[in-house]
């Protein structure tokens, strides 16, 4: 399966590479454009699925075969997939049209940590990659955004 590589926050200290999976499925329903400009918040979620250390091609196959599409499918804009010592960042749903399914905050942006972190701590490199992507998005939008865990609502 093919995917494009995109750079967010190009030229900044937060420059981040994401793999674009948007052409493979429509993982959430569009909720229309934001009223104007950037979101106010970035929500951090987690998937609760067990993590397998797969290369990016296999990760994409897993994403597509696990949830091919749907109203709530993968309702995040980005997914951070932890591997052995490295994290792959996936762009799943367009930040301008597909918003996070976060109760009462569906017009915001979400980054999902792949894995079940209800009972275990996420790997440090996963958290670092999510912060780096968060910084890149803030550079892209030219705004400091509030970052909240999904249970904050």
Q: What is the pLDDT of residue 131?
A: 97
Closest-CA residue to 94 (of 14, 26, 9): 26
- CA 14, 17, 23: angle at the middle one, nearest 5? 135
pLDDT digits (tens, 9 = 90+) for 48-99: 888 999 999 999 999 988 876 555 678 889 999 999 989 999 999 888 776 6
pLDDT reading at 33 higher than 70: no
pTM, rounded to two decimals: 0.90
């Amino acid at each position: 399966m093919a995917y494009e590589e995109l750079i967010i926050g190009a030229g900044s200290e937060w420059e981040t590479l994401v793999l674009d999976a948007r052409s493979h499925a429509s993982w959430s329903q569009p909720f229309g454009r934001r009223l104007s400009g950037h979101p106010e918040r970035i929500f951090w979620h987690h998937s609760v699925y067990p993590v397998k250390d797969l290369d990016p091609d296999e990760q994409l196959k897993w994403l597509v075969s696990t949830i091919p599409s749907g109203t709530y499918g993968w309702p995040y804009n980005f997914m951070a997939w932890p591997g052995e010592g490295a994290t792959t960042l996936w762009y799943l749903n367009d930040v301008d049209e597909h918003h996070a399914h976060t109760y009462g905050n569906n017009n915001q942006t979400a980054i999902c940590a792949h894995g079940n972190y209800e009972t275990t701590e996420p790997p440090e490199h996963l958290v670092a990659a999510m912060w780096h992507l968060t910084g890149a998005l803030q550079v892209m939008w030219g705004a400091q955004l509030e970052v909240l865990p999904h249970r904050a609502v």
